[in-house]
Amino acid sequence: MNYEFCVGFLHSKFKTHNSELIMLNRSFVVGLAGGSAAGKSTLAQALADYLTTTTPHRGVEVISTDRYIKQDRTQGPNFISPSTGEPTFHFNHPDALELPRLLADLETRTATDDAPSVLLIEGLMVLHLPPLREKLDLRLFVELDADERALRRLLRDMKGGRASTDPEFIARYYRESARVGHALYVEPSRVYADFIVRGDADFARVVPLLATIIRANPVSSSDATSGKLT
């Protein structure tokens, strides 16, 4: 895929779907959506590291929407587990996010004098939720086959730091929550992406291309047909 074609096409596309925000924001906001364990966080961090290393004067920050999951689980959303019959918090539902707080923080961060040139937001529902989607200057969807995502999720959660390290619990929650939420909300949101990136792609090759597109936009500069990157 030709770099100049991609940059030129996407530059014009950004003007079409987000012209007002581009004129107002100090930050170039990149959204990364995709299924659980597809590689969103890894790609976001790789892109942030590359931009920071290759353009030291450029401020780059990463926000994960996981930070905005409702802490009060009694507020829902909940589903009744077919396996246990117990009400269970549905992390893979749009209402699991405290969206007003996320939008307020985004508005505040991009309007400050020390706002980063590039702000990366990654999470399951980044492209599904219209109020958040409309604030994105570049929209990326990270795709990965379901069996690979399920395996990655199992291995990741068994290392700890999540709800449980029990493989039986992890597999059950994937079937009853992650897989359902992906089919209903995450996968359909790919139609809003400017680029679809494979979660098992060679990020060492993909990241420089994405960085070139970001640098070509006047919002992120300190001194654009949709495609698939594999």
Residue 226, SS3 per DSSP: coil
28 beta partners: 118
pLDDT of 83-138, one tens digit each?
A: 999 999 999 999 999 999 999 999 999 998 899 999 999 999 999 999 999 999 99
* pLDDT surpasses 60 at 230: no
At 26, is the pLDDT very low, low, confident or very high (cuts 50, 70, 90)?
A: confident
Whether 110 contacts 29, CB under 8 Å = yes
* pLDDT surpasses 80 at 217: no
pLDDT of 169-191, one tens digit each?
A: 888 888 999 999 999 999 999 99
Where in the chain are the domains? Answer: 3-229
* pLDDT surpasses 90 at 28: yes
What CATH architecture is 3-229?
3-Layer(aba) Sandwich (3.40)
